[in-house]
Amino acid sequence: MGTFLIANKVLLPEMLVFLMSLLTLMAGVFLPTRMRESSALVFAQTALWGAIALAFWGMLAGTVTLFSGTVVVDHLAFTLKVLSYVTASGVCFYAHAYLKAMKMPVLEFYVLTLLSVLGLSALLSANHFITLFVGLELMSMPLYAMIALRRHRSDCLEAALKYFVIGAMATGILLYGIALLYGATHTLGFPDVANAIPVAMHGHHLLMSFALVFITIGIAFKLGIVPCHMWLPDVYEGAPTIMTMMVATLAKIAALGMLLRLLVSVMPALFAEWQPLLMVLVVLSLFVGNVTAVKQANLKRLLAYSSIAQLSYLLLGVFTGTTAGYSAAMFYLATYVLTTLAAFALIMCFRREDGEEAVDIADYAGLFQHHPWHAVMFAIVMFSLAGMPPFVGFIAKLQIFQALLQTGPFWLVIYALLLTVVAAYYYIAVVKVMFFDESQTPLRKVSLGLGNGLLTLNALGVVMLGVQPSGLLTWLSL
Amino acid sequence: MIGLAHYLVLSSMLFVISFIGIVINRRHLIVMLMCVEMMLLAVNMHFVAVSQYFHDISGQIFVFFILAVAAAESAIGLAILVLLYRCRQTIDVESIDQLKG
Amino acid sequence: MIDVQTLTFFAFSGLLLLSAGGVVFSRHAVSSVMFLILCFLCSTVLWLMLHAEFLGLALLFVYVGAVMTLFLFVVMMLNVKIDATKARLLKYFPFVLVLGGGLVTMLWLALGPDAFSIKKTGVLAFSEHYNNTRAIGEVMYTQFVIPLELTAGILLVAMVAAIALTFRGSQQRRVQDTPKQLMASKANNLRIVSMASEHEGGE
């Protein structure tokens, strides 16, 4: 009975999210039409903020393992879960006015978002490969479908299909890696596998390396880092901006969660194998991401390539193999998510004359003259992504570099610093266009409804956390 | 006698065939989806064989979940495919290049 | 001396690999689907040989019965002509050879008789009372109840997504509603409004 109560208490956030997604679905059927959309937003926000509160309450019980070790709630799961609930709540606020303007089905959006968050939180709590896989799929499948929700636009459908095919293939590769690991260890629970790996290393060294490579490639596809990044710019560009926001935030939280869980908790014995693997990925991603971003004329594509570069800093934190590095990666993820939310929300604010979304950098010429506050917010976001001092992006990069300096290699620090300079160039180029170029045709600003206030808060948050990061840093440290 | 190695090698060959299918079959999206299904079949074969030879039932539970998830996944994939076909009148991957990749 | 088990295994695994090649290289999508179905049938036989009866039959019923029918339905509905993949095969032939050959060789080393010889793994042996379905059922609803619930969520997602993507609003057909016509009366259809004249001054 005691275990049952603890089980209930710890899993209450997930239960609430699941329940509210069903309620939202029912709201679509039984409520009068005019109340549907706002009540769906209320349900979604209740679910997410209720889940945050319940997660904090459940965490009082400490680390708990449930259902014969298929589910675990520890500090890693707890912090990333809270981060994903907050992110999803922000996405829902930003989405409300946008969905109506883009003629996307509103209720389905909230239902699928809640289910996706449910999958994400199961994935983060996974202590068994089966839970991990099912959570991963429950998180990704709503994303495939939601990109296609703007179903009369062929570019959105194309983005959805590309994301789907790549996602399905990545799942296949990841699963084959897990199958190979299972072949060597004959067990699927994380602690058991971690214990069995050193033993299995003797007879099946090649097999283990294969499993590791397949699993890492599977995660690399989900993260979208080089050499598994070809789909990413197309999906970012073609998807409705609200969905780009979700792919750029929620999916990355999942990928880091998986990376920390699998490489750090399950395969610490293979550290000597996975460290060089990560190094190759980081070196390639830093270069390709930053150098390709320079040439981009489309703001969403630029952010796509910049995300490849940003995530490679995050990988750099995991690469160090120290607790300081992992904590730095967690902090980097939190700040990246916060900044990315603001960046895409700002893009959602502006339309061209013909009603299309303003996605080209040239569209934003002279933004400062017409919409000074939005131009300033854009500048804050870009400076933070570039890692300039007063903003939170600087602290995040500082943490990563501090951790990396402890372990080396030194040339990697220099290499990453050099490419940070390249990155600063294209971020500042965008800001320059906004502040100093002459505008051709002024952009039309649309209201985000409740999202307007949140956007201001979000941009100020980027500054405030840059000035006062210590609270978040302590909370996120592993 | 048939040992575990037979099944594992068979599954690895199936995996390689389906992987090659995805790489070279860029012309036809449905065939690509079928290759993904085949890849999952290879994974399932691996799990079932290991599970039965080492008497650990959790591998078969995994296969059960993979089957359920793959069914749902192909439903979503085909729905998107049909929508795209309605929109574009083609599902040839090479002509689907509105987004330059 | 070849026993029946070995013969069956090699016959069906050969057929499996051939039909897998058929999926990839066949000229028409319909025949690809047919080859894929053959793949699943061969796998069912192989899984039955492994005493995994539940999954073998689930593969047959759920996969061949439902999912493959869905594929076939979509292929027939779209009826897309495809060009021969032969030209592409020739173009990519060196690449395919290197990639495929390399991967198979590596996996052979990792999984082949050296790593999993019969000496190391033993033969397939089950007690007389072994019941595959029972063994699965015993853990499915206890240890793995959380993934099971999440799978329910996945099926819900598939349903919601498929409906949201393809449903085009309720059918707005104009049909006569005879009872409604008969029920019509002056009281609920006609409204007399008294209002001031629009043009005060008149023409």
> What are residue A153's phi and psi, to 5 degrees?
-100, 120
Is B100 domain-assigned?
no
Q: Neighbours of B (≥3 Cβ pairs closer than 8 A)?
A: A, C
pLDDT for A61 beyond 90: no
Cα–Cα distances in Å, from C43 out to A49, A138, A148, A167, A253? 47, 27, 34, 25, 37
Tokens of residue A254, six digits: 């999942």
**Looking only at Cα atoms, what is the longest distance across chain B?**
54
Do B34 and C32 count as a contact with CB atoms less than 8 A apart?
yes
Cα(first)–Cα(last) distance of chain B, in Å?
50
Range of the domain at A193: 2-476
Q: For chain C, how many helices (H) and strands (E)?
A: 10, 0
Question: Do residues A362 and A441 lie in contact, with contact meaning Cβ atoms separated by under 8 Å?
Answer: no
A139 alpha-carbon distance from chain centroid? 12
User: In chain C, which residues have their Cβ closer than 8 Å to the Cβ of B30?
Assistant: 29, 32, 71, 74-75, 78, 80
Q: Looking at the structure, do residues C14 and C60 belong to the same domain, yes or no?
A: yes
Supply the pLDDT for residue A363.
84
Give the containing element (helix H, strand E) for B10. Answer: helix B4-24
A70 touches chain C (CB under 8 A): yes
Is B82 domain-assigned?
yes
Paired strand residues for A350: A445
SS (H, E, C) chain A: CHHHHHHHHHHHHHHHHHHHHHHHHHHHHHCCHHHHHHHHHHHHHHHHHHHHHHHHHHHCCCCEEECCCCEEECHHHHHHHHHHHHHHHHHHHHHHHHHHHCCCCHHHHHHHHHHHHHHHHHHHCECEHHHHHHHHHHHHHHHHHHHCCCCCCHHHHHHHHHHHHHHHHHHHHHHHHHHHHHHHHCCCEHHHHHHHHHHHHHHCHHHHHHHHHHHHHHHHHHHCCCCCCCHHHHHHHHCCHHHHHHHHHHHHHHHHHHHHHHHHHHCHHHHHHHHHHHHHHHHHHHHHHHHHHHCCCEHHHHHHHHHHHHHHHHHHHHHHCCHHHHHHHHHHHHHHHHHHHHHHHHHHCEECCCCCECCEHHHHCCHHHHCHHHHHHHHHHHHHHHCCCCCHHHHHHHHHHHHHHHHCCHHHHHHHHHHHHHHHHHHHHHHHHHHHCCCCCCCEECCCCHHHHHHHHHHHHHHHHHHCCHHHHHHHCC
- Give the mean pLDDT of chain A: 88
B52 closest CB neighbour out of C16, C51, C138: C51
> What are residue A261's phi and psi, to 5 degrees?
-65, -50
Tokens of residue C187, six digits: 């009281």
Tokens of residue A427, six digits: 């971020």
Tens of pLDDT, residue by residue over A297-315, are 889 999 999 999 999 999 9
Supply the pLDDT for residue A114.
95
Supply the pLDDT for residue B101.
45
pLDDT for A325 beyond 80: yes
B37 closest CB neighbour out of C36, C82, C154: C36
Evaluate the omega torsion of the peptide bond into residue A409 and state whether it is cis, within 30 degrees of 0.
yes
Report the distance separating Cα A287 and Cα A303, nearest Å.
15
Interface probe with C: pick from A156, A210, A212, A214, most Cβ of C within 10 Å: A210
Report the distance separating Cα A380 and Cα A373, nearest Å.
11
A55 alpha-carbon distance from chain centroid? 20
Tens of pLDDT, residue by residue over A389-418, are 888 989 999 999 999 998 878 889 999 999
Bridge pairing between strands A71-73 and A64-66: antiparallel
Q: Looking at the structure, do residues C29 and C11 belong to the same domain, yes or no?
A: yes
Supply the pLDDT for residue A339.
94
Range of the domain at B87: 4-95
| Interface list for chain C against chain A, based on CB atoms closer than 8 Å | 106-107, 109-111, 115-116, 120, 142-147, 149-151, 153-154, 156-158, 160-161, 164-165
Is B57 domain-assigned?
yes
- Give the mean pLDDT of chain C: 82
Is B14 domain-assigned?
yes
Do C153 and A118 count as a contact with CB atoms less than 8 A apart?
yes
DSSP-derived 3-state class of residue B73:
helix
Angle at CA of residue A233, ends A228 and A235, nearest 5°: 95
Percent of chain C with pLDDT over 70: 86
pLDDT for C72 beyond 50: yes
Report the distance separating Cα A39 and Cα A46, nearest Å.
10
Tokens of residue C136, six digits: 């699965």
Report the distance separating Cα A125 and Cα A254, nearest Å.
11
A51 touches chain C (CB under 8 A): no
- Residue A67 backbone zone (phi > 0: left; psi -120 to 50: alpha; other: beta): left
Instruction: Count Cα neighbours of A46 within 13 Å in the Cβ-side half-sphere.
Output: 15
Q: Looking at the structure, do residues C50 and C91 belong to the same domain, yes or no?
A: no
Is B65 domain-assigned?
yes
> What are residue B58's phi and psi, to 5 degrees?
-65, -25
Instruction: Find the length of chain C.
Output: 203
Do C71 and B75 count as a contact with CB atoms less than 8 A apart?
no
Is C197 domain-assigned?
no
- The residue with greater pLDDT, A2 or A43, is A43
Tens of pLDDT, residue by residue over A145-181, are 999 988 888 888 888 988 999 999 999 999 999 999 9
DSSP-derived 3-state class of residue B46:
helix
User: In chain C, which residues have their Cβ closer than 8 Å to the Cβ of A153?
Assistant: none
Quote the DSSP letter at residue B37. Answer: H
Number of domains in chain A: 1
Instruction: Count Cα neighbours of A315 within 13 Å in the Cβ-side half-sphere.
Output: 30
User: In chain B, which residues have their Cβ closer than 8 Å to the Cβ of C69?
Assistant: none
Report the distance separating Cα A225 and Cα A244, nearest Å.
16
Q: Looking at the structure, do residues C73 and C146 belong to the same domain, yes or no?
A: no
Report the distance separating Cα A36 and Cα A452, nearest Å.
22
B76 closest CB neighbour out of A145, A152, A153: A145
Is C22 domain-assigned?
yes
Position A339, amino acid: T
Of A142, A10, A31, A145, the closest CA to residue A88 belongs to A142
Tokens of residue A349, six digits: 């604010």
Evaluate the omega torsion of the peptide bond into residue A389 and state whether it is cis, within 30 degrees of 0.
no
The mean-pLDDT minimum among A46-50, A345-349, C108-112 falls in: C108-112
Residue with tokens 């070279």: B24
Q: How far is A208 from chain B (nearest CA, A)?
A: 15
A176 closest CB neighbour out of B29, B43, B54: B43
Q: Looking at the structure, do residues C113 and C153 belong to the same domain, yes or no?
A: no
Q: Neighbours of A (≥3 Cβ pairs closer than 8 A)?
A: B, C
Position A244, amino acid: T
A130 touches chain B (CB under 8 A): yes
Is C4 domain-assigned?
yes
A141 touches chain C (CB under 8 A): yes
Supply the pLDDT for residue A343.
93
Tens of pLDDT, residue by residue over C142-197, are 889 899 999 999 999 999 998 888 877 665 566 677 777 777 777 777 777 787 77
Supply the pLDDT for residue C114.
73
Tens of pLDDT, residue by residue over A160-170, are 988 999 999 99
Other Cβ atoms closer than 10 A to A199:
12
Q: What is the mean pLDDT of residues C69-77?
A: 88
Question: Do residues C29 and C76 lie in contact, with contact meaning Cβ atoms separated by under 8 Å?
Answer: no
Tens of pLDDT, residue by residue over C21-48, are 998 888 788 888 999 999 999 999 999 9
A349 alpha-carbon distance from chain centroid? 21
Q: Looking at the structure, do residues C63 and C14 belong to the same domain, yes or no?
A: yes
* Of the ranges A182-186, B90-94, C181-185, the best mean pLDDT one: A182-186
DSSP-derived 3-state class of residue B92:
strand
Give this prediction's pTM. Answer: 0.90
Is B43 domain-assigned?
yes
Give the containing element (helix H, strand E) for C133. Answer: helix C132-140
Is C175 domain-assigned?
no
**Looking only at Cα atoms, what is the longest distance across chain C?**
116
Number of domains in chain C: 3
Q: For chain B, how many helices (H) and strands (E)?
A: 3, 0
Instruction: Count Cα neighbours of A407 within 13 Å in the Cβ-side half-sphere.
Output: 16
Tokens of residue A366, six digits: 């002279």
Number of domains in chain B: 1
Q: What is the mean pLDDT of residues A187-214?
A: 87
ipTM of the complex: 0.92
pLDDT for A197 beyond 80: yes
Is C2 domain-assigned?
yes
Which burial class, exposed, middle or buried, applies to C21 when counting CB atoms under 10 A from its CB (0-12, 13-18, 19+)? middle
Q: Looking at the structure, do residues C1 and C77 belong to the same domain, yes or no?
A: yes
pLDDT band at B90 (very low <50, low <70, confident <90, very high): low
Do C162 and B31 count as a contact with CB atoms less than 8 A apart?
no
pLDDT band at B91 (very low <50, low <70, confident <90, very high): low
Supply the pLDDT for residue C107.
80
Range of the domain at C148: 131-165
DSSP states along C146-170: HHHHHHHHHHHHHHHHHHHHH---S
pLDDT for B100 beyond 80: no
Supply the pLDDT for residue B70.
92
Is B12 domain-assigned?
yes
The mean-pLDDT minimum among A166-175, A351-360, B87-96, C126-135 falls in: B87-96
Q: Looking at the structure, do residues C3 and C73 belong to the same domain, yes or no?
A: yes
Give the containing element (helix H, strand E) for C96. Answer: helix C86-111
Do C24 and B72 count as a contact with CB atoms less than 8 A apart?
no
Q: Looking at the structure, do residues C6 and C45 belong to the same domain, yes or no?
A: yes
Is C189 domain-assigned?
no
Cα–Cα distances in Å, from A251 out to A260, A357, A358, A429, C88? 14, 23, 24, 28, 34
- The residue with greater pLDDT, B45 or A200, is B45
Tens of pLDDT, residue by residue over A367-384, are 888 888 989 998 999 999
Is C35 domain-assigned?
yes
The enclosing domain of B13 has a CATH number of 1.10.287.3510
Do C66 and B71 count as a contact with CB atoms less than 8 A apart?
yes
Supply the pLDDT for residue A1.
43
Which burial class, exposed, middle or buried, applies to A2 when counting CB atoms under 10 A from its CB (0-12, 13-18, 19+)? exposed
The mean-pLDDT minimum among A195-204, A235-244, A413-422 falls in: A195-204
Report the distance separating Cα A431 and Cα A379, nearest Å.
6
pLDDT for B99 beyond 70: no
Is C202 domain-assigned?
no
A108 touches chain C (CB under 8 A): yes
- The residue with greater pLDDT, B76 or B29, is B76
B77 touches chain C (CB under 8 A): no
Is B17 domain-assigned?
yes
Supply the pLDDT for residue C88.
61
DSSP-derived 3-state class of residue C190:
coil
pLDDT for A342 beyond 90: yes
Interface probe with C: pick from A11, A117, A130, A144, most Cβ of C within 10 Å: A130
